Amino acid sequence: MLPPGGAELTLVDDLEKGHLPDVVVETKMLASADARHSETYLSITVQVFIPFLIAGFGMVGAGLVLDVVQHWVVFEQITEIVILVPALLGLKGNLEMTLASRLSTQANLGHMDTPKQQWSMIVGNLTLIQCQAIVVGLLGSVVAIVMGFIKTNEFELDHAFLLCASSLVTASLASFVLGLITAAVIVFSRHCSINPDNVATPIAASLGDITSLALLSWVSTVLYDAIGKQDWLAPLIISGYILVTPLWVWIAKKNKHTREVLYTGWTPVMAAMFISSVGGLILDFMVVRFEGIAVFQPVINGVGGNLVAVQASRISTALHRDAQLGSLADDDTVIFITPAAGFFGKGSHARTTRVLMLMVIPGHIIFIYTIRCIKAGHTSLTPLFVIIYLVAAVLQVAALLYIAYIMIHWMWKHRIDPDNSAIPYLTSLGDLLGISLLAIAFHFLYLVGDGDADVGD
């Protein structure tokens, strides 16, 4: 039994330690739940579509950059770099979008309301994604080297060093910059009473593709020019990153917010990197056949990844709010739903699915005609091309949103936190689906005689 005034003293102690009493936490969760249920089609559309457009124009920029750099000497002489492109661009899904989902959930649960909480959460997560970026960047380059060797049956040590160093620098710098931007967006969204689940993941992707591609192009060109003159440069970069990695691991391990993810978050990141690399191999083959495919690849992949990341983040937050990991709030919840239930059901997730699907066609039309206005690419936007392209885009996003619902609920039921695992799988699958459907679309257009300057020499 507490002494007189004991309850008040306990409450004061809890507040001083940054712990919220249960009644406060429950009040916050109920308020968040009320806000979620009060979200209308219009509010979701406005909050998602504006960041989606911003992110889309970033992807258009990445497509324009890829359309140019594919003709640079380093890309033509070391074709394995093209295999690296989807894997490195996919890092925004593997790392930054996962970070956005994780922080959005914590923000919605009231765990990032004080400067101390924000500082601890952000520093821990930034060091964590540095660990992951370095490892994924190194392994991605190794996969690209192996795939390139299988394709050409040739191996050059200088080229291998260049690929590893370029991948490491790109992954590390891009992840650090984008991680800072993502954290700032989430804190700002929370301050402005905007649901960070709706805006954080698209914003995280807005500069991701163009930043990563520009860094990869610049670093690889510098290192290519150094071959035969400063052969020590690439090995020095690789050694430096390998030596500094234990420091990031130590910091992430000491942080209570990232300790568990440091041990358990590698499988989805690694699997996603391999899936994206398969997409990169397809792109490497197709970009020789159809030059015009390069400018559309970041766009179709990015749109699918952005939209499914929003859905994944929202579903994950709802599960964290309504149930304990391993159990569902409603025992009758069906995990393996039918497509009809997924797209036309009455639940909040089906409603969000419909909103996101409605963004696909207008979004892609805006993006591809922006490319046309800039007079980029090698493909004429004939009516048949636009129709086939939009069909591919709709199929990609529909498949991803349907898979997302099943995957996230399955993970939750099996005690796997979807905030740490779902988005890497979904965005990498989006990359593979996007480039595969795009390749099918270009091949179909070629067969029916709709190809023009998009066919390589």
> Which of the listed ranges 111-125, 371-385, 425-439 does the model predict with the highest average pLDDT?
425-439
| Domain assignments of the chain as residue spans, ordered by start | 39-447
pTM for this prediction? 0.74
What tens digit of pLDDT does each residue of 253-307 get? 888 888 888 887 788 888 887 887 788 778 878 877 777 777 788 888 888 888 8
Q: Which amino acid is at 166?
A: S
What tens digit of pLDDT does each residue of 144-173 get? 888 888 877 888 888 899 999 999 999 899
Give the tokens for residue 360. Answer: 């696909």
> Model confidence at 1, in pLDDT bands (50, 70, 90)?
very low
What is the pLDDT at residue 163?
92
pLDDT over 90, % of the chain: 18
Across 187-191, average pLDDT: 83
What is the pLDDT at residue 332?
52
What is the pLDDT at residue 375?
63
Give the tokens for residue 32. Answer: 């968040």
In the predicted structure, residue 33 carries a pLDDT above the cut 60: no
Across 133-147, average pLDDT: 87
Angle at 199 between CA 193 and CA 203, to 5 degrees: 135
Is 174:215 a contact under the CB 8 Å cutoff?
yes
Q: Which residue has the tokens 């591609």?
A: 213
What is the pLDDT at residue 358?
92
Q: Which residues pair with 455 in a beta bridge?
A: 290
Q: Which residue has the tokens 């601890």?
A: 120
What is the pLDDT at residue 19?
44
In the predicted structure, residue 387 carries a pLDDT above the cut 90: yes
3-state secondary structure 139-185: HHHHHHHHHHHHHHCCCCHHHHHHHHHHHHHHHHHHHHHHHHHHHHH
Angle at 366 between CA 344 and CA 212, to 5 degrees: 100
Q: How far apart are CA 242 and CA 234, in angstroms?
A: 13
Alpha-carbon distances, residue 165 vs 81, 128, 138 (angstroms)? 12, 20, 8
Backbone angles phi, psi at 211, to 5 degrees: -65, -50
What is the pLDDT at residue 206?
63
Rounded (10°) CA dihedral 32, 35, 39, 43 = -100
3-state secondary structure the chain: CCCCCHHHHHHHHHHHCCCCCHHHHHHHHHHHHHHHHCCCHHHHHHHHHHHHHHHHHHHHHHHHHHHHHCCCHHHHHCCHHHHHHHHHHCHHHHHHHHHHHHHHHHHHCCCCCCHHHHHHHHHHHHHHHHHHHHHHHHHHHHHHHHHHHHHHCCCCHHHHHHHHHHHHHHHHHHHHHHHHHHHHHHHHHHHCCCCHHHHHHHHHHHCHHHHHHHHHHHHHHHHHHHCCCCCCHHHHHHHHHHHHHHHHHHHHHHCCCCHHHHHHCHHHHHHHHHHHHHHHHHHHHHHHHECCHHHHHHHHHHHHHHHHHHHHHHHHHHHHHHCCCCCCCCCCCCCCCCHHHHHHCCCHHHHHHHHHHHHHHHHHHHHHHHHHHCCCCCCCCCHHHHHHHHHHHHHHHHHHHHHHHHHHHHHHHCCCCHHHHHHHHHHHHHHHHHHHHHHHHHHHHHHCCCCCCCECC
In the predicted structure, residue 21 carries a pLDDT above the cut 70: no
In the predicted structure, residue 37 carries a pLDDT above the cut 60: no
What tens digit of pLDDT does each residue of 68-78 get? 888 888 888 88
Is 156:74 a contact under the CB 8 Å cutoff?
no
> Model confidence at 64, in pLDDT bands (50, 70, 90)?
confident
